Structure 1
C-alpha cells in the first residue's frame, strides 16, 4: 500500500489535485504534474517535454472542434436570436415557481446539443428574468441548479454538439489505452449517471429550494419589463439574420450526422452565417477572437491533458499502479469503483472541466478497469462520470461560473454558497452514487 503511493502516477495526480485545489492555473498545474511524473520515473527534463509535446496531437481534432464551436456560439449570440426568443418566452414565465424552474432547465439543455452556444446564452437570458424571479420569490439557488443541469446532463447523454465531443473523447481515449468501445454505446454507459442528475434536479426544485425567498429589486441595465411588453420591438423583432442563424444551426446538425465530424459541422455553420449575411465577413476577426476567448482555454487544457496522459503511459508507471492496486483491492469491484470516482472528483474539481480530465482519467482507469474485470460499458461510465463529477460544484467550472454571471447581475447571488455548494450537493453526490452503481451493473 505504501509503495503504491510512491508510484509516479499517484504522485503526479496528487500534485495535480493539490495545485488545482490551491487555485493554481490548470495549465501550469498539468505541466508541473507532468514533470513530477517524469522525474519520479527517472526521465530527464528533455525526455519529459518531448513526450508531452508529442502527445499534444492526441486531442488536436477535439481542440479545433471546441474553437470552431466557440466561434459559432459567438456568431449565434451576436445575431440576437436569443433576445428575440426571450421576448416570446417571458410572457409564459408567470406561473408557479416549479414550472418556471423546469422551463429554465429545459431551455438550458438546448445550449449543449441543439443550439450549441454553451454558456453564452446565460448573460442574455438570465439578467432580464431577475425581476420575474423576484416577483415569484424564486430561490436563485434553484435557478443555478436548473442551469447547471442543462449545462451538464445533455452533453453527458446526447451525442450531438458538445456531447459529440465528450463522447468522442471517451471512446478515443479508451481505445488509445487498449479498450475499444463503440461510440453508440456511450449514451448507454452514461444513462444511469444522468438519471442521478435528474433526481438531483427534482430534489433541488421540489424539495430543497421550493420555499419562497425574498430579493431586493435592484435596477440593472437589463429591463425585463420592457422586453416583456414589447418596448424596443424594432430592435428585437424577427430579422433576416435570425432566419440565417436557424438555417446555420440546421446545417450544423445535418453535417454532424452525415460526416460524424464536429469540425466539418461547425465550419459549415460558420460559413452559412457568412455566406447568407447572418454575419458580415469584416467581423471575422471579432467573432474568432470571441470564440477563442470563450473556448480557447478549454481547448488548450485538452491538448496539454493529452500530452500529460502520454507521459503517464510512457513511464510505465500505470502498469505498476495497476498491479499494486489490484493486489490491494483484490476482486472488490465496489471499492475499485469508489476509489476511481474519488480520484475523478479530486482531479476534476480542481481543473473544472470534464473534457480536459478524461484523457488523464482514461490513461489510469482503463488498465485498472481491465484488471478488475469491468466491462467496456462500465469503464466508459466510470470515466465519463468521474470526469463530469467535478464540473458541478467546482468554483473554476463553466457550469458554475456561467450561472453565477447571470444570477449575480444585481449583486445578490454568491458564487460559492449560492451556486457551487447547491450544485455540488444535488449533482456530485448523485453522480458519485449512480456512477458506482452503473459500474457494478453494466
Structure 2
C-alpha cells in the first residue's frame, strides 16, 4: 500500500503542472488511490465525501475570516495601507517585498485573518508591481513566507493552534511536551525559511521582469481616493483586537471572526443592511479555497483509511535501523510527500504525530527533536503544494489580472525557496536537539 501514496501524489502533481484545475487534480488523485487499493468506484466516492468533513471547521473559519476581511476593507483601512505602501515604497522593490512579507506575517498572529487579506491588499498594487517591473514570483514568495513562518515559530494566533496540535498529537502517543518547548524546537526550521526568503528577494528574483499584458480589467487597479484616519478606522482596529483577544482566549478562529464581525456591526462601522453583502463577498473571496481544503481532506481521508500512510512509514522505518541521521531524513521526506498531497499542515500533523512518535521513541530522539521532526514534516509541502492555502492565497491576489500562473509562478518558486531550507534545517534540528 505504501506505493499508492507516492503514485497518487504524483498524479495530482503532474495534472496540476499540466494546468488541470487543482480541484479536479485532487479528486482524480484521491479516486486513483482508492481504486488502486481495490475499492469500487462507489465505495471510493463515498469514502471521499465522508472525508471532506475533516476540514469543515477550517473551511468555515476561512469563510468567516473572509467576511471579516471584507468588513475591514469596507471601512477603507486597507486603502490607507495601500496608499502608504505606494507613497513610501514606489521604486523600492526590496523594501516593498519585505513590507509585504511583514504584513503577511501579521495575518497569522496579530490579526488572524490568514489569507483573507490578500485579495483585498494585493490587486490594487498589481499595476504598481508592473510599473516597477517587479517579479511577481518574488511577491508570491514573500506572501507565502508570511503565511507559514509565523505559525511555525510563534505560538500565537494560528501558531498557537499549530503548536497545540503538535502537543496533543505527541501526548496521545506517549510524549509530554510544552508549547514553549515546541516553539523553541521549531526556531531552527523557521530560520531556514528566513534564509529562503532572502535568497528569493536578493538573488533569484532580484532582476526586473516584464509580464505580458492581458485584456482583463481589474476594478481594484483604479487608484484609491486619498483617505485620512478617522473614527471608523479606530473602531475597526478595536474590532481586530477584540477578535484576536477572543481567539487567543477561547482558541477558536470561528468565534474570533464572529466576534470581530459582531463588534463592527454593533459599532455601526458596517451598516446592518450591508450584512448580506459582506457575507456574500466573503464567501466569494474564500469559497474556492475553502472547497479546495474540503477536497484535500477527502484525499487525506482516503490514503489514511486504506492504510497507505501507515504502510509508507512502516516500510520506511523498517529498513533504517537505529541510524538517527537516516531516520530523520526519511521521516521528513515522508512528511513532504504526505503534506504535498493533503495540502494542509494542520490536517497532516495528527497523522504524522501518531506515526512518528513510536519511531522516534524507539530511536531515542528527544521530545524537542521529535517535535521538530513532526512540525517540520507537517510544514513541508504546505509551500509548493497546489492544494495548499499558502499557495492558493497568493495566487488569488496576484492573478487578479490573469498574469500569474498558480503552478509556475507560485507553487514552484515557493517549493524551491522554502521546502529545501525547511528540510535541511529541520534535519539539523532533529539531530542537535
| TM-score, scaled relative to structure 1 | 0.79
Q: 2:67 touches 2:279 (CA, 8 Å); kept in 1?
A: yes
Q: Is the 8 A contact 1:322 1:371 kept in 2?
A: no
Q: 1:17 & 1:316 partners in 2: Cα distance?
A: 12
Bigger Cα displacement from structure 2, 429-438 vs 157-166: 157-166
Name the structure 2 match of 1:221: 218
Q: How many residues align?
A: 419
Kept in 1: contact 2:11–2:29 (CA 8 A): yes
What is the RMSD of the two structures over their aligned residues, measured on CA atoms? 3.8
- Equivalent residue for 2:424, pick from 423, 426, 433: 433
1:108 equivalent in alignment to 2:104 = yes
**Cα distance, 1:202 vs structure 2:** 0.6
Is the contact made by 2:55 and 2:347 (CA closer than 8 Å) also made in structure 1? no
The correspondence of residues 16-27 of structure 1 with structure 2, limited to 5 A, is 16-18=8-10, 20-21=12-13, 22=15, 26=26
- Equivalent pair of 1:322/1:368 in contact (CA under 8 Å): no
Q: Say whether residues 1:418 and 2:409 are aligned partners.
A: yes
Contact kept, 8 Å, 1:63 with 1:302, in 2: the verdict is no
1:162 corresponds in structure 2 to 158
- Deviation track 1:416-438 (CA, whole Å, cap 9, x = no partner) reads 33222221111111111111111
How far has the Cα of 1:164 moved from its partner? 2.7
Structure 2 residue aligned with 1:203: 199
1:42 aligned partner: none
Give the counterpart of 1:185 among 156, 166, 181.
181
In 2, Cα distance between the equivalents of 1:186 and 1:19? 34
For residues 16 and 349 of structure 1, what CA distance do their matches in structure 2 show? 11
Distance 2:376 2:164 in 1: 15
Tell me the residue number matched to 2:376: 385
In structure 1, runs of 5+ residues without a counterpart are: 1-7, 40-44
Decide whether aligned partners of structure 1 residues 240 and 217 sit closer, same or farther in structure 2, where only a CA change above 3 A counts: farther
Shift of the alpha carbon at 1:80? 3.4
Tell me which residue corresponds to 1:96. Answer: 92
Q: 1:62 to 1:221 in 2, by over 3 A?
A: closer
Residue 17 to residue 214, structure 1, CA distance change in 2 (3 Å): closer
Find the counterpart in structure 2 of residue 293 from structure 1.
Answer: 287
Are the structure 2 counterparts of residues 183 and 77 from structure 1 closer, same or farther at C-alpha, using a change threshold of 3 Å? farther
Flag the 1:309–1:63 CA change in 2: closer, same or farther, 3 A.
Answer: farther
1:18 Cα shift? 4.3
Separation in structure 1 between the aligned mates of residue 347 and residue 183 of structure 2, nearest angstrom: 19
Give yes or no for contact 1:305–1:357 (8 Å, CA) kept in 2: no
Match of residue 82, structure 1, among 70, 73, 78: 78
Question: By how many angstroms is 1:36 displaced?
Answer: 7.4
User: Could you tell me which of 248, 261, 264 is aligned with 2:239?
Assistant: 248
Distance in 2 of aligned mates of 1:28 and 1:359:
24
Residue aligning to 1:174: 170
Higher mean displacement: 301-310 or 150-159: 301-310
| Structure 2 residue corresponding to 1:139, chosen from 132, 135, 141 | 135
Q: Which residue of 1 aligns with 2:256?
A: 265
Residues 340-355 of structure 1 correspond to what in structure 2 (within 5 A)? Answer: 340-355=331-346
Q: Check 1:132–1:184 CA distance in 2 against 1; reply closer, same or farther (3 A cut).
A: same
11-20 vs 411-420, which moves further:
11-20
Hey, what does 1:125 align to over in structure 2? 121
Equivalent residue number for residue 395 of structure 1: 386
CA distance in 2, matches of 1:120, 1:374: 38
| Distance change in 2, residues 1:183/1:212 (3 Å) | same
* Structure 2 CA distance for aligned equivalents of residues 248 and 36 of structure 1: 50
Equivalent pair of 1:147/1:403 in contact (CA under 8 Å): yes
Matched-pair contact (CA < 8 Å) for 1:79–1:245: yes
What is the alpha-carbon distance in structure 2 between the residues aligned to residue 363 and residue 383 of structure 1? 10
Alpha-carbon deviation of 1:251?
0.8
Greater mean deviation of Cα atoms: 90-99 or 75-84: 75-84
Deviation at 1:105, TM superposition (A): 1.4
TM-score (normalizing by structure 2): 0.81
Q: Report deviation, 1:303.
A: 6.5
CA distance in 2, matches of 1:317, 1:212: 43
Is the partner of 2:319 in helix, strand or coil?
helix
**CA contact 1:144–1:404 (8 Å) conserved in 2:** yes
Question: Contact between 2:293 and 2:387, CA under 8 Å: does it hold in 1?
Answer: no
Deviations 1:129-161 (A, max 9, x none): 233333333222222211211121112222223
Structure 2's unaligned 5+ residue stretches are 17-23
**Native 8 Å contact 1:306 1:360 kept in 2:** no
Question: Which whole-Å CA distance do the structure 2 matches of 1:386 and 1:309 have between them?
Answer: 17
